[in-house]
């Protein structure tokens, strides 16, 4: 078969399902490549992760199109035999890291997040590390809530044994850090740990942040915290979390829920915080605002 792949979101981040689909079909002897609108295909796989990405509307010469990804809904998933293929990293030669999930699902069921509805309200082991890693220098984990998984200590040990740099991209749950997994997290070669402070009313999380920073000694540049804005919080609450995280030795990162409805002050806050050169050179948000008028 002649298989075409279409990454609707663009190539700014590797599309893991397409990499697995490519590996599966190449193993079967099929011809696989990115879609060329001047060629005919037996089947095209069209993947879209983000709902806000405009759909691909040009004509594709193909006998069949299969669309998938959260951008097209929550009730679609890869067949087992494709889901557990080693990804075809050759599709994105500019990216040298390994990408994958050790776990799926999350028990939190936060209103702003689709993970629990799509993957289940329990974090379960989905794979061992060698399913998507074969010696790459950096591993980017995409797990939604690794520490909520019963086998998370076993999986953390696999990351330690890899001796690769680990980027916990989607956020470890600081509320689930304990004496046992704390030691395992610190034994990892950390490239970046992402946490999250989504609910401004959750003040008891502050002590967890303070304790982790004090005991781990990890540099601020490797400790990033997602700060959810434009969702059940005021600007004052957003700014409080940013200042508090900076005070505790963390690097905040603004996440805007439904950017189209976000007030101007929130968009300014995002620009100030997320541009790290500006954030580190302009100490106060009020000073930033006065400079941009």
Q: Which DSSP string do the residues of the chain spell out, in sequence order? A: -EEEEEETT-SSS--HHHHHHHHHHHHTT-EEEE--TTS-BSEEEEE---TTSPPP-S---BS-EEEESGGG-SS----HHHHTSPP-GGG-TT--SEEE-SEE--S---TT--HHHHH-SS-EE---GGGT-SS-SEEEE--S-GGGSTTHHHHHHHHHHHT-EEEETT---GGG--HHHHHHHHHSEEEEEEEEE--TT-TTHHHHHHHHHHHH---GGGEEEEEEESSS--HHHHHHHHHHHHHHT-EEEEEESSGGG--HHHHHHHHHHHSHHHHHH---HHHHHHHH-
**For residue range 146-197, what is the model confidence (pLDDT) as tens digits?**
999 999 999 999 999 999 999 999 989 999 999 999 999 999 999 999 999 9
Q: Indicate if the pLDDT at residue 292 is higher than 90.
A: no
How does strand 124-125 pair with strand 189-197?
A: unpaired
pLDDT of residue 52: 85
pLDDT of residue 13: 92
Mean pLDDT of 130-159: 98
This prediction's pTM: 0.93
Asked whether the CA dihedral 105, 126, 129, 14 is positive or negative, the reply is negative
pLDDT of residue 293: 74
Mean pLDDT of 22-34: 98
pLDDT of residue 170: 93
**For residue range 210-253, what is the model confidence (pLDDT) as tens digits?**
999 999 999 999 999 999 999 999 999 999 999 999 999 999 99
- pLDDT band for position 35 (50/70/90)? very high
pLDDT of residue 51: 86
Q: What share of the chain in percent tops pLDDT 90?
A: 94
């Amino acid at each position: 078969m002649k298989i075409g792949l279409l990454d609707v979101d663009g190539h700014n981040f590797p599309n893991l399902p397409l990499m697995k689909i490519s590996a599966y079909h190449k193993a079967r002897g099929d011809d696989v490549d990115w879609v060329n609108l001047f060629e005919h295909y037996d089947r095209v796989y069209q993947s879209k992760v983000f709902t806000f990405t405009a759909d691909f509307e040009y004509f594709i010469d193909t006998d069949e199109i299969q669309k998938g990804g959260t951008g097209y809904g929550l009730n679609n998933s890869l067949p087992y035999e494709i889901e557990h293929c080693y990804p075809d990293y050759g599709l994105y030669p500019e990216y040298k890291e390994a990408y994958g999930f050790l776990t799926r699902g999350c028990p939190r069921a936060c209103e702003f997040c689709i993970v629990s509805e799509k993957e289940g309200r329990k974090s379960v082991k989905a794979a061992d590390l060698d399913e998507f890693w074969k010696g790459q220098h950096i591993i980017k984990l995409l797990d939604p809530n690794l520490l909520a998984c019963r086998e998370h200590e076993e999986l953390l040990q696999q990351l330690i044994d890899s001796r690769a740099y680990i980027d916990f991209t989607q956020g470890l749950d600081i509320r689930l850090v304990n004496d046992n997994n704390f030691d395992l997290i610190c034994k990892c070669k950390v490239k970046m740990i992402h946490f999250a402070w989504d609910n401004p009313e959750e003040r008891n999380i502050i002590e967890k942040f303070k304790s982790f920073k004090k005991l781990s000694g990890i540099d601020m540049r490797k400790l990033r915290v997602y700060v959810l804005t434009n969702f059940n919080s005021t600007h004052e609450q957003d700014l409080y979390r940013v200042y508090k995280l900076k005070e505790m030795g963390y690097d905040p990162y603004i996440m805007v829920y439904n950017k189209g409805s976000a007030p101007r002050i929130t968009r300014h806050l995002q620009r100030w915080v997320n541009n790290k050169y500006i954030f580190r050179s302009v100490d106060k948000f009020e000073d930033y605002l006065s400079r941009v008028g």
